[in-house]
Amino acid sequence: MRFSLSRRNFLKMLGFGSASTALSSCSSEPIDKIIPYLIPPEEAVPGIADWYATLCRECPSGCGLLAKIREGRPIKVEGNPHHPVNRGGLCMRGQASLQSLFNPDRIRTPMIKRESGDFQTISWKDAEKEILDILKTKIDQQKTGEIAVITPLIKGSLERLLKKWMDAFHIKNHLIYEPISYEDIKEANRIVFSKAEIPLYSIEKAEMILSFGADFLETWISPVEYSKAFGNMKRVDIKRQLIYIGQRMSLTAANADEWISLKPGTEKALILGLIHFILKEKLHSDLPFLELELIKGLVKDFSLDRVSSHTGVSQQTIERIGKEFSKANPGLALGGGIAVKGLYATDISVAVNLLNYICGNIGRTVRFGHEIGIGRVNPYRDMLRLIESIEQSRLKVLLLYNVNLMYNLPDSSGFQEAIKRIPHVISISQFMDDTAKEANLIIPSSMSFEEWGDYMPRKGVFGLQQPVIKPLFESRGFGDILLSLVRSIDEKQKGQIPWNNFHDYLKNSWKGIHKDLSPEIGFDHFWEGSLRRGGVFRAETDKEVKLSTKVSLDSKIDLKDKEDEKSSTLLLYPSIKYFDGRGANKPLLQEISDPLSKIAWDTYLEMNPETAVALKVVEGDFVSVESKDGRMELPVHIYEGIRKDVVAVPLGLGHIEYGRYAKQRGVNPINLLSKKTEEISGGVIWSPIFVKIERINKKKSLASTQGGRRQFGRGIAQALFFSIGKGILHLKTEKDIKKEIKEGKKRDMYKPHPYPEHKWGMVIDLNACIGCSACVAACYMENNIGIVGEREVIRGREMEWIRIEKYVENKGNGLDIRFVPMLCQHCENAPCEPVCPVYAAYHNPEGLNAQIYNRCVGTRYCSNNCPYKVRRFNWFSHSWPEPLNWQLNPDVTVREVGVMEKCTFCIQRIREKKEVAKEEGRRLRDGEIIPACAQTCPTEAIVFGDLKDPKSRVSKLWNSQRGYRVLEEINTKPSVVYLKKIKREI
Amino acid sequence: MKLFKKPLLIFLSGCVILFFGSGFLKSPYAPVQPIEFSHKIHAGNYELACLYCHSYANRSSYAGIPSVQRCMGCHKITAQNKPEVKKIHEYWNKKEPIPWVRVYKVPDFAYFTHRRHVNKGINCTTCHGEVEKMERIQKVSSLKMGWCVKCHKENQVSRDCITCHK
Amino acid sequence: MRYSKDITYGKVNTDILKILEKPGKIYYFLLFIVLSVLSVGVFAWVYQIYSGIGVAGITHPVAWGIYITNFVFWVGIAHSGTLISAILYLFRVSWRNSIYRSAEAMTVFAIMTAGLFPIIHLGRSWYFYYLVPYPSQTMLWPNFRSPLIWDVFAVTTYFIISFIFLYMGLLPDIAAVRDKAKGFKKKIYSLISLGWSGTDREWRHHSSAYLFLAAMATPLVVSVHSVVSWDFAMSIVPGWHSTIFAPYFVAGAIHSGLAMVLTLLIPLRKVFKLEEYITQKHFENLAKIIIFTGLIVAYSYATEFFIAWYSNNIYEQEIYKYRVIGDYALYFWIMVIFNTIVPLLFFFKKMRTSTVSLLIISILINIGMWFERLVIIVTSLAHEYIPFSWGLYRPTWVEIAILAGGFAFFALLFLLFVKVLPAVSISEIKEQIEPPRKGES
Amino acid sequence: MKRRASGVLGIFSHLDLVVKTIKRLKEEGHQDLRVSSPAPFHEIEEVLESRVSPVRFFALIGGILGALSGFALTIGTSISWPLITGGKPIISIPPFLIIVFELTILFGGVGTLIGVFLNARLPKISLDTTYDPRFSEDLFGVFVSCPKEKFHSIAEILKSSGAEEVRFEED
């Protein structure tokens, strides 16, 4: 049993393995072993957490992480506050990243495919020999052109090493593949500013944002970074607005002040219409005459009335937006979201550029010279070329590193057949995914947590990735694999590539960075500093750009292709949970319900209620969706936030392989895509896809965590409205607040209990909360919350301690979707406490509503009596298949079947910090204790602290003018105050 | 009626004896360890401080079991020829840790930190008994809730449940 | 009420002791059915404990379901037993004497059945003793502010008192059985008869004790179901949090209980030919009380809705709207019709007097009352304050099996009872018939 | 441990005769009578002029004890480990009263039971020799305990007042 062996080695080195997390409520003496350190590592004290800075590699944005290590295991990751990309925040996927490290379905050893088609374990030596044999023969035959290497976006040292390595083997073809790329933006920038790169968008600075299908709060380029920025933007001035233009109300749109739905494929017309209007009204910032004329020429036939009739957006709206946007100083128009990556993707991005240009946003909110990493990705066109050359058998060896082409490329691309034609497919992969399954040779590569590395999400940001745990299995880092391969070919290479392992190489290449960044200090000092900080970060200066004289775009009003009219338009979008599909094998991401659909564990087709009525389908009915290139059957989810003539499907599920959690779950909509690429940029044509939808005779109940869709006037998610002229309406005055407090006192029957030392409280700013559910993920990881699986979620038994409640309102700006993070409110008059017959629920002297798990007998009375329904019951004992259980937090017990559990305000963190403060003989500092949810929140919507300390942030926010407490009228006196959302009234 | 009066009496008294008797009959838990390590010698005769081996007790929740390296620190030279010491050498050479058998275990749902207790100046013996007199380590305190609470009550320290329950 | 002249003391003994004779085929057949159903229930419970409470349909947010429904239902059943045996005794209602014994037995058995369900319902049944106040090593005691602890006390007290009361009444009759029995049986009976020999001293203390027990049982019975109702009324769940719950539940309890008495007595009377002792008159009287309790229940329903409407409390209103037209509307209408409309049939003398209609109606009422509890519990929990976490409850086979098991358990106890102890009071019937007199003097 | 007593037992089958007999015996000055009957009869109690049963006091004392222990239990335990629930005071009387009430009834009931047992000398391990199985059916028994000498005179009285059977009990 290789695995158990490797585990024992691991324990040997890192000791205290048997700090068993199994709840043992039996009082009899447990015979278990204590395994002490053989050689105690320096500074590591068992029972005390160490934090190491590293990187998150779950998506190309490259956020910085701090990994919490206990007894040698990473048990939690948090955003690295020093890292300029995420600045301490972290998204749902980042939080779940430890589940890819400890995933039970990782490839554990090198494997080779037998004739029979099944894989057989082989030793590393043999595996390397296999590869070398193939490469050597190619070299000997001078046919290294027949070799191609495909990797995901790798930057920094690894990339440089790969280059060297390929030279060593005379390999030319290297493709960088990312399923979701932005070649259209890049291309547009080349056209407009003759600068082929993806710029940096300063969302904080923008006074008004126009987003054309750019879901920058979910998946667009660098979601955490932009969410953070968005939060700050709102904080700077509550009245700053975001307007979202697209067919579907995405999470970003749901957080916008206004969602403008326009006919599919008419974005370009709208943007040009806006430009036309702005120029006509002379609202533009001053431009040289020639440029003005040039642009005028491009937009001449986009008069208001035509555009309006073509896009279905009213003239007033266009005028209003035009006026306000040009007034905004600066504004920011965003494009290039998947929703607009269609036949005219590049044109749209060009138009967006022009719009930004004439309003003088270039160089202010759109900043060049930062070379965002994702710009390096090869477009879809190149992949198609590759496939072509396979078909013409000009390609014999395919070396794949962590790319899941079988899944991410549409069937229409022909790759699925092509790959079978290749004699040698070598897959260096972490998981047995759809692609690895097709390989002849599988090499297990380490997770980012196990290997050295660095990553440059953009210029000036050198993220350093240090391993936080020894490889769990017989996996190796990609760099190490490359090095050892090179080492074992003939001597003269050795001169060029003298390093024994990637760590040495990395250090060496950082000598270079050291030289041009801070030569004044010694390297070791620099190196250690970088390790501690998680990298070196330097503010890059922007590069000036000017309008190219050769700006051009297809400036006819494009009418959507002549498809037969009864077909509707399909919109694909990357799921905030699974991104492009790589999240699907993490049980946590499957379990958390999507912020908008509130559905977990499945793919669904989003459909407008009216369309559904027309099709005679209801929630959960299956329909068949058929495009020119593919057909699939999936259940329907009714969603008001989508146009009648449009349906949408999230990406991410429908894997053939990829581990127990992803395997055979949901459908993969990518297979509906066509082989056609967008002419100019060569990107995938994501939309519009014209599909026929037919009802089929099959239904299922979707794993929805939502009961009622509306608030029925219960004021759970409250909002205020502002209008440009009048400012915010119905804002509380100081007098009202005083009055409230006074009346609050009157309502009590008994005199309030004293809180001698602390009184913990929380404030949640709904204006900042974007519903991204990162807090939910963080809570799961911090508190060992059980994953119950689809069947139980359907029965309403999900265990989430904090949930994002979604409510649909039809006030003010048409459809209005609101999010409320709902967690235990730690009421002062908690209804759950007195009904517990055994004191398992009680109120502690610091205002916490405590739950003592091993005292609980499971009457479930407290749950009935909790008006907020935040108590969760363990209907079964949950299991974490080895090694997932290694992630469990030793400071939090694992709850047994039949026990009630709930949010504790992360009592273990409070306890820890209090202990530290005691040891150091000082008082607790404000902000020292941060619960997992507050810590990870990308928009810093959650503030936690001590209400007894009048100077604490939370006390200051406590009596805010926007403050309210949910269900105030039943006088439970919650310790959580929500700040009302603020929306633009139109 | 008379007949089954005596048997009944005997039976009842039997139950009573068993019930109370069991308390006294029960001997303290002292499992056989892979190495017959004697605290008597180390802590007793040589008067080694507890913290010398259990070095985390004042820094962490765990007191910590000495690493093999720590053992070898002395036993490379001292008492090499002793059979039990030889065993240490074996482990050291095999590069394997010594699988000691746990004697004191706080259940997973309870949080206990040595750091606070040690730094508050509570003697190790208060809970672990007179270890320096024990040939083989034995469990002297039940570690049951009542046992904890009693002490907390006497010293007027927090009896708030979540101080110890996690 | 008077019995026919030809009933003498001797006849009473012989007639009633006849019940205890060796049972016939039907009896064994019934016993077999009951036992098999019971074993299914037991299996279900074992399965539930083995694999976790999750195998039941209860879920979030409806964390209480059939188990608690059964608990309330059975406690309710118990009540009318005490009503007949104790309250009617205090009022010196003569016709109670011939039916009170089986009613009281029903009480005791119903409590025993009810007592099971809270334990079955627990997430960790094996820790049920945490609810019992005893000096444990943890130095921690139960929370006496919790209605569930009130339940523990109320139900145990109710059981003990009812049992004592039943036993008191039984003493002279057990003696009577003893005097007829032979061999081993005689030993047992003389043991449990405690050597009762009907002397003046025994009778004197006995009857005074009997009176006091009746006097104590009367407030107790009211308190017990009030406490049970407070499990709901003390919470803040809309649809539960209501001041009328205590009287409403007590009335409902007696309503269902009387129905259950009928359901038991009618077959009993038929099988053991007790027409002379349990007469149509008894049934008619019971039927009349049922009309009354039925009306009270109807009134309570009306009041609930009125309060919900008049309070103008959106949460309350939502709940009651939901009950009438929501997912559980069917249950609601079963409850309304069976509990309030059907009993009104007893206004017709025919309905009161024909055993068939009596039996059918009483069974319908039992069903109705069971659903009343289900509706109250489930609908309220399903639509609480936070719309986002509204949910549904679908019972699973486990719950159904245990439900059936509960009925089987009760039936089993009753079956055994009628064959082991006099199901009709001998001595108290004698009190009702003319004692033998020479008449000269 | 049979309670042997010397005396005369008369067995009757009619209530009125029994009553007459008792009257007469009392007139004759025989106070120590024990009457057995299938059911309780006020006539008999009246002629025996037996005082009111003291069981009521047992009930009362039991009840009082119950109430006290109820208060002790609830308040005592709440104080011994004060835990706040739902913002209610540590000693919240209203809920405690329910416990108190239940315990009052419980102890009262048990007290009553004890009362009966003590007063009626129950449980008896075995029946008196003077007991006749038919007493539990339809016969009445009047037992006059008296020394051997008086046997005949009493037997006379009994017979003459309609006893169907007369038995002598010697110790």
Tell me which residue in B1, B159, B161 faces D126 most closely, judged by beta carbons: B1
pLDDT digit string (tens) for A95-109? 999 999 999 999 999
**For the domain that residue A749 is a member of, what is the CATH number?**
3.30.70.20
**For the domain that residue C96 is a member of, what is the CATH number?**
1.20.1630.10
> CB atoms < 10 A from the CB of A312, how many?
16
What pLDDT is attached to residue C1? 52
Tokens found for residue A986: 């139109």
Positions of chain A with pLDDT under 70: 1-43, 490-495, 555, 557-566, 811-813, 986
A781 in the same domain as A680:
no
| C304 assigned to some structural domain | yes
Which 8-state DSSP code applies to residue A54?
E
Predicted TM-score (pTM) of the model is: 0.91
Indicate yes or no: CB of C435 within 8 angstroms of CB of D96. Answer: no
Indicate yes or no: CB of D136 within 8 angstroms of CB of C198. Answer: yes
Indicate yes or no: CB of C51 within 8 angstroms of CB of A863. Answer: no
- Residue A954, phi then psi, degrees to nearest 5: -65, -40
What pLDDT is attached to residue C71? 95
Picking from C76, C12, C99, the residue whose alpha carbon sits closest to that of residue C284 is C99
Range of the domain at C378: 9-132+140-432
Sheet holding D165-169, edge to edge: D33-36, D140-145, D7-12, D165-169
Which 8-state DSSP code applies to residue A43?
S
Q: Does D83 reach chain B within 8 Å, measured CB to CB?
A: yes
> Residues A431, A658: contact at Cβ < 8 Å?
yes
Which residues in chain B have their CB less than 8 angstroms from residue D125's CB?
Answer: 1
Which residues in chain D have their CB less than 8 angstroms from residue B159's CB?
Answer: 81
A383 in the same domain as A514:
yes
pLDDT digit string (tens) for C127-171? 999 999 999 888 899 999 999 999 999 999 999 999 999 999 999
* HEC profile of A780-820: HHHHCCCCCCHHHHHCCCCCCCCEEEEEEECCCCCCEEEEE
Sign for the pseudo-dihedral over CA of C244, C250, C256, C258: negative
Picking from A570, A581, A547, the residue whose alpha carbon sits closest to that of residue A653 is A581
Amino acid at residue number A640: E
Indicate yes or no: CB of D125 within 8 angstroms of CB of B1. Answer: yes
For residue C126, give how far its alpha carbon lies from the nearest alpha carbon of chain A (Å). Answer: 8
Structural domain count of chain C: 1
Report CA A690 to chain centroid distance, whole Å. 28
Which residues in chain C have their CB less than 8 angstroms from residue D16's CB?
Answer: 437-439, 441
A778 in the same domain as A697:
no
Q: Does B89 reach chain A within 8 Å, measured CB to CB?
A: no
* HEC profile of A811-875: CCCCCEEEEEEECCCCCCCCCCCCCCCCCCEEECCCCCEEECHHHCCCCCHHHHHCCCCCCEECC
| A4 assigned to some structural domain | no
Report strand pairing: A981-984 vs A719-723.
parallel
d(CA C34, CA C40): 10
Which runs of E-coded beta strand occur in A255-404?
258-260, 331-334, 366-367, 397-401
Structural domain count of chain A: 4
Indicate yes or no: CB of A863 within 8 angstroms of CB of C61. Answer: yes
Q: A916 burial class (0-12, 13-18, 19+ CB within 10 angstroms)?
A: middle
For residue D165, give how far its alpha carbon lies from the nearest alpha carbon of chain C (Å). Answer: 16
Interface list for B 130-159 with D (CB within 8 A): 159
> Residues A334, A423: contact at Cβ < 8 Å?
no
How many beta-carbon pairs below 8 A join chains A and B?
120
Q: Does C137 reach chain B within 8 Å, measured CB to CB?
A: yes
d(CA A885, CA A873): 20
Alpha carbon separation from B142 to A352, A412, A652, B127 (Å, rounded)? 73, 69, 53, 9
| C204 assigned to some structural domain | yes
Range of the domain at A615: 568-704
Strand partners, A458: A461
| A561 assigned to some structural domain | no
| C243 assigned to some structural domain | yes
A768 in the same domain as A677:
no
Which residues in chain A have their CB less than 8 angstroms from residue D96's CB?
Answer: none
Indicate yes or no: CB of D84 within 8 angstroms of CB of A843. Answer: yes
Strand partners, D35: D142
A725 in the same domain as A830:
yes
Indicate yes or no: CB of C153 within 8 angstroms of CB of D102. Answer: yes
Q: Does B62 reach chain A within 8 Å, measured CB to CB?
A: yes
What pLDDT is attached to residue A17? 34
> Residues C92, A905: contact at Cβ < 8 Å?
no
How many beta-carbon pairs below 8 A join chains A and C?
160
Indicate yes or no: CB of C60 within 8 angstroms of CB of A877. Answer: no
d(CA A250, CA A258): 12
Alpha carbon separation from D25 to A591, D140, D164, D168 (Å, rounded)? 92, 15, 17, 16
Q: Does D123 reach chain B within 8 Å, measured CB to CB?
A: no
Which residues in chain B have their CB less than 8 angstroms from residue A839's CB?
Answer: 161
For residue D111, give how far its alpha carbon lies from the nearest alpha carbon of chain B (Å). Answer: 26
Residue C440 confidence class, pLDDT cut points 50, 70, 90 = low
Tokens found for residue A729: 């309406």
* HEC profile of chain D: CCCCCCEEEEEECCHHHHHHHHHHHHHHCCCCEEEECCCCCHHHHHHHCCCCCCHHHHHHHHHHHHHHHHHHHHHHHHHHCCCECCCCCCCCHHHHHHHHHHHHHHHHHHHHHHHHHHHCCCCCCCCCCCCCHHHHCCCEEEEEECCHHHHHHHHHHHHHCCCCEEEEECC
A744 in the same domain as A884:
yes
Tell me which residue in C141, C197, C437 faces D36 most closely, judged by beta carbons: C197
Residue C110 confidence class, pLDDT cut points 50, 70, 90 = very high
| A382 assigned to some structural domain | yes
The residue whose two tokens read 């039990």 is B84
> Residues A792, A798: contact at Cβ < 8 Å?
yes
Mean pLDDT of D1-27: 80
Residue B75 has pLDDT above 70, yes or no: yes
What pLDDT is attached to residue D61? 94
A663 in the same domain as A531:
no
- The overall longest dimension of chain C from CA atoms, in Å, is 87
For residue C156, give how far its alpha carbon lies from the nearest alpha carbon of chain A (Å). Answer: 16
Tokens found for residue D37: 């009957």
Q: Does B32 reach chain D within 8 Å, measured CB to CB?
A: no
- Residue A486, phi then psi, degrees to nearest 5: -60, -45
A409 in the same domain as A290:
no
| A919 assigned to some structural domain | yes
Residue B73 has pLDDT above 60, yes or no: yes
Which 8-state DSSP code applies to residue A602?
S
| C418 assigned to some structural domain | yes
Indicate yes or no: CB of D83 within 8 angstroms of CB of B1. Answer: no
What ipTM was predicted for this assembly? 0.90
Strand partners, A64: A55
Q: Which of C125, C127, C388 to mutate to test the interface with A (most CBs of A within 10 A)?
A: C388
Which 8-state DSSP code applies to residue A198?
P
**Helix/strand number for chain A, H first, E second:** 30, 41
Which residues in chain C have their CB less than 8 angstroms from residue A835's CB?
Answer: 146-148, 234-235
| A47 assigned to some structural domain | no
Alpha carbon separation from B116 to A805, A915, B105, B119, B120 (Å, rounded)? 41, 8, 18, 5, 6
Indicate yes or no: CB of C146 within 8 angstroms of CB of A861. Answer: yes
Indicate yes or no: CB of A752 within 8 angstroms of CB of D87. Answer: yes
**For the domain that residue A218 is a member of, what is the CATH number?**
3.40.228.10
Which residues in chain C have their CB less than 8 angstroms from residue A873's CB?
Answer: 60, 63, 123
A434 in the same domain as A337:
no
Which chains, if any, share at least 3 CB pairs under 8 A with chain D?
Answer: A, B, C
A367 in the same domain as A382:
no
| A640 assigned to some structural domain | yes
Q: Does B77 reach chain D within 8 Å, measured CB to CB?
A: no
Indicate yes or no: CB of A829 within 8 angstroms of CB of D86. Answer: yes
A351 in the same domain as A325:
yes
Indicate yes or no: CB of B159 within 8 angstroms of CB of D125. Answer: no
Q: Which of A705, A711, A795 to mutate to test the interface with C (most CBs of C within 10 A)?
A: A795
Straight-line distance from the first to the last Cα atom of chain D, in angstroms, rounded to the nearest whole number: 13
**For the domain that residue A592 is a member of, what is the CATH number?**
2.40.40.20
Which residues in chain A have their CB less than 8 angstroms from residue D86's CB?
Answer: 829-835, 843
d(CA A381, CA A755): 66
The secondary element (H helix, E strand) that includes residue C345 is none
Choosing from A350, A371, A392, the residue where a domain stops is: A371
A839 in the same domain as A789:
yes
| C122 assigned to some structural domain | yes
Mean pLDDT of C88-102: 86
Indicate yes or no: CB of C153 within 8 angstroms of CB of D74. Answer: no
Which residues in chain A have their CB less than 8 angstroms from residue B102's CB?
Answer: 30-34
> Residues D148, D7: contact at Cβ < 8 Å?
no
Indicate yes or no: CB of A873 within 8 angstroms of CB of C390. Answer: no
| A844 assigned to some structural domain | yes
Which runs of E-coded beta strand occur in A475-630?
535-537, 568-573, 599-600, 605-607, 621-626
| A140 assigned to some structural domain | yes
pLDDT digit string (tens) for A51-99? 999 999 999 999 999 999 988 889 999 999 999 999 999 999 999 999 9
| C1 assigned to some structural domain | no
